[in-house]
Amino acid sequence: MTNIGKINGKKLALLLMSKKENGEDDWSVFTGIARWDGKSLLLDRGGEKNTFRVPEDTLNRIKAVDKDNRETFCDAEYFIPLTVSTLPDNANLNEYIKTDLKWPE
C-alpha cells in the first residue's frame, strides 16, 4: 500500500471494472485530486462534480501508475482498482455505497 499522506494533492484515478450484459469486460476511469484529511481519502472531482469518499477497506489497493499507462489513467499518478456491478432488483440500498459516478455510454 502506498503511504496515503504521500498521495494527498496528487491526481488519483478510480479504475472501475464491470461486465457487460453479454459477459464482456467493461471498464471506466474517473479522476480527481486525492484529498487526505488524516482519516478519510476523498477524490475531489472538481467543479460541479460530487466528491467521492474512497472506502476505507480499499485503501490497501492504491497503486502508482507506471509511465507506460499514464495516458490510460488520464495522467493520474495513482489509481485504485474497484469492481462494480448492477444492483439486484431486491437490493437493500443501505448496504451499498452511493458513488454519484455516471458510467459513460
Whole-number pLDDT of residue 23: 86
Residue 98 lies in a domain: no
d(CA 34, CA 28): 18
Residue 39 lies in a domain: yes
Residue range 20-76, pLDDT digits in tens: 889 899 999 999 999 998 889 999 998 777 788 899 999 999 999 999 999 999 999
Whole-number pLDDT of residue 28: 93
d(CA 26, CA 35): 27
| 78: β partners | 12, 64
Is it the case that residue 2 has pLDDT exceeding 60? no
Q: Supply φ then ψ for residue 22, to 5 degrees.
A: -85, 5
Residue 104 lies in a domain: no
The residue segments making up the domain with residue 28 are: 4-84
Beta carbons of 54 and 80 less than 8 angstroms apart: yes
Residue 53 lies in a domain: yes
Residue 51 lies in a domain: yes
Is it the case that residue 77 has pLDDT exceeding 90? yes
Confidence of residue 3 (pLDDT cuts 50, 70, 90): confident
Q: What domain count does the chain have? A: 1
Residue 48 lies in a domain: yes
Residue 94 lies in a domain: no
Is it the case that residue 8 has pLDDT exceeding 80? yes
